[in-house]
Amino acid sequence: MSSEITDMPAREEGTTEELLDVLGDEHSRAILAAASEGPVSSKELTRRSDASPSTVYRRINHLLDLGLLDERVAFDGDSKQTKVYEATFEHFDVSFDEGECVVEPHEYGQVTSAVVALLEKLPFDDVETSLDGRELTVKLSLTEEVVEDLTSRWLDGFTDSKFR
């Protein structure tokens, strides 16, 4: 399943109580775990969650409503259309703030953006990044100063008595 046809409209974010309920439900957790690995069909979600198809469809619809899943139409190998589902978040933060429990899902792009911003602040000549699905590739070009410092530290390690 490869070609994306359309993205479905964005949904409302879930409340803390709704998110905790989802995390407490074994079928929802199984669906989210499978969908966090990449686009997956409802048939595969049914197999992996060990639940009936009707249970899986109810959970999928609820997870879509909470904004925890994206639904797309993709083509399989025979050019047949099928709906696939993918998690919209990388992880949840659960915290207690001013006497209240707060659950916050973090989208995949948030973490990638933070990593790239950090790398751009470090002493590199150039930082190249590319994001392919959920794989971030980073190419760093070191400044001459950093190369000299690393070389010096490496050579100092060999002259240290513990390496003799």
CATH number assigned to the domain comprising residue 30: 1.10.10.10
| pTM check: above 0.95 | no
Q: Would you state the structure tokens that stand for residue 39, as one six-digit string?
A: 């686009």
Compute the average pLDDT of residues 47-73.
93
Compute the average pLDDT of residues 52-69.
94
pLDDT in tens, 109-157: 555 666 666 776 677 777 776 666 556 677 777 788 878 888 888 888 7
Instruction: Indicate whether 39 belongs to any domain.
Output: yes
Tally of domains in the chain:
2
Q: In whole angstroms, give the CA distance from residue 64 to residue 14.
A: 10
How large is the C-alpha radius of gyration of the chain? 22
**67 and 136 co-located in one domain:** no
**93 and 140 co-located in one domain:** no
**93 and 159 co-located in one domain:** no
Q: In whole angstroms, give the CA distance from residue 64 to residue 77.
A: 26
**129 and 88 co-located in one domain:** no
Determine the pLDDT at residue 117. Answer: 67
